[in-house]
């Protein structure tokens, strides 16, 4: 990575900030870009903000002129595109914002990249890659006994969020084919770990336990997901930067699959050890089943052999260990949690208590 010049979009977000940390630590020269909306937080980049190999710019990736300017000035060898709105519930409430921020903004960015790429010298073209970070949700859902998705599975998105990412992926692929851009698309399973915005299930549960509130679970809690510790995902992405082939699609997953109910009960059991219930009981007693959300996917699962075979990578962190690390981080960083819980976040999370 020491010879790489990496432009990271969505760098102040959850996964983007961890990737930025890792890229800087590996010796890359990094330009991080984020428009700092509700889930982008400069606190997430505190570890690298003053590093000589890192520079931050507040910018919207949908601004072709600004992104073209940054590409010309920085001259990246690789662009890693994380910037996106990612929460299904929010996409149900405001679908057009997901179209704008995920699909249209990505298309504007890839157009700026195309203009930059066309002016590169031949040797620089041979080195350049555009890596689009996407989601397993583009594939739709599975029945319990269905085989997991592979990189050849068709798209069948069931939410505005998933549709916005599937459409963005399609534009990236189309630009790769039409303009011979060296693009790579990555689909990842659910991530968790430090610095995840607390609208997502795992930090939401930890926060609700800390504050003694009810713990909401949609429907019966039998929806199944694969979960991957964020630093494992970052390690896989570093392998994609180093070994990924232009035009390839990589599905990155741990293979750790559990129901939402089992996951929440496990979190409660781990928190029982370190956060005392005021009446000496288990925090699991606070679990409340709320009305299911529309078109709630039953199951996501991807075949981990896709990336194992292509990159020689396998996730290292067992789910139970990753959950313990995550709980420990949130308990040790209450100031981070307090800072990100804005009025907008509080208004949104009230929905759980009204169901």
- Residues designated catalytic: 136-137, 161
Output helix, strand, coil percentages for the chain, rounded to the nearest 5.
Answer: 50, 15, 35
Listed residue (120, 130, 125) closest to 168, CA to CA: 130
Contact (Cβ atoms closer than 8 angstroms) between residue 61 and residue 33: yes
- Pairwise CA distance, residues 333 & 331, whole Å: 6
Contact (Cβ atoms closer than 8 angstroms) between residue 69 and residue 116: no
273 contact partners, CB below 8 Å, separation of at least 6: none
- Pairwise CA distance, residues 104 & 94, whole Å: 15
Q: What is the CA radius of gyration of the chain?
A: 20
Listed residue (27, 83, 352, 336) closest to 193, CA to CA: 336
Helix 105-118, helix 160-179: angle, nearest 10:
20
Which DSSP state fits 100?
I
């Amino acid at each position: 990575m020491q010879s790489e010049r990496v432009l990271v979009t969505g760098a102040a977000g959850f996964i983007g900030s961890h990737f930025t940390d890792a890229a800087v630590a590996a010796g890359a020269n990094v330009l991080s870009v984020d428009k700092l909306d509700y889930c982008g937080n400069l606190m997430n980049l505190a570890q690298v903000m003053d590093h000589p190999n890192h520079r931050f710019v507040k910018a919207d990736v949908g601004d072709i002129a600004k992104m073209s300017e940054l590409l010309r000035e920085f001259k990246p060898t690789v662009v890693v595109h994380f910037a996106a709105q990612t929460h299904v519930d929010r996409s149900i409430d405001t679908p057009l914002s997901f179209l704008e921020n995920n699909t249209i903004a990505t298309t504007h960015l890839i157009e700026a990249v195309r203009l930059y790429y066309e002016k590169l010298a031949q040797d620089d073209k041979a080195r350049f890659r555009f890596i689009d970070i996407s989601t397993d949700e583009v594939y739709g859902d599975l029945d319990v006994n269905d085989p997991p998705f592979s990189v050849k599975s068709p798209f069948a998105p069931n939410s505005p969020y998933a549709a916005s990412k599937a459409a963005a992926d399609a534009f990236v692929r189309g630009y790769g084919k039409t303009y011979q851009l060296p693009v790579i698309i990555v689909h990842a399973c659910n991530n968790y770990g430090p610095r995840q915005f607390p609208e997502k299930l795992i930090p939401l549960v930890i926060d609700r336990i800390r504050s003694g509130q009810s713990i909401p679970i949609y429907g019966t809690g039998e929806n199944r997901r694969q979960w991957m510790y964020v630093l494992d995902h970052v390690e896989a992405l570093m392998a994609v930067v180093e070994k990924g082939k232009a035009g390839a699609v990589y599905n990155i997953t741990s293979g750790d699959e559990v129901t939402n109910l089992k996951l929440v009960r496990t979190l409660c059991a781990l928190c029982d050890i370190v956060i005392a219930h005021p009446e000496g009981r288990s925090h699991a007693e606070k679990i409340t089943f709320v009305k299911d959300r529309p078109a709630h996917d039953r199951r996501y699962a991807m075949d981990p052999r896709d990336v194992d075979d292509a990159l020689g990578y396998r996730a290292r962190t067992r789910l139970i260990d990753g959950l313990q690390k995550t709980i420990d981080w949130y308990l040790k960083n209450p100031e981070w949690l307090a800072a990100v819980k804005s009025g907008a976040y509080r208004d949104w999370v009230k929905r759980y208590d009204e169901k």
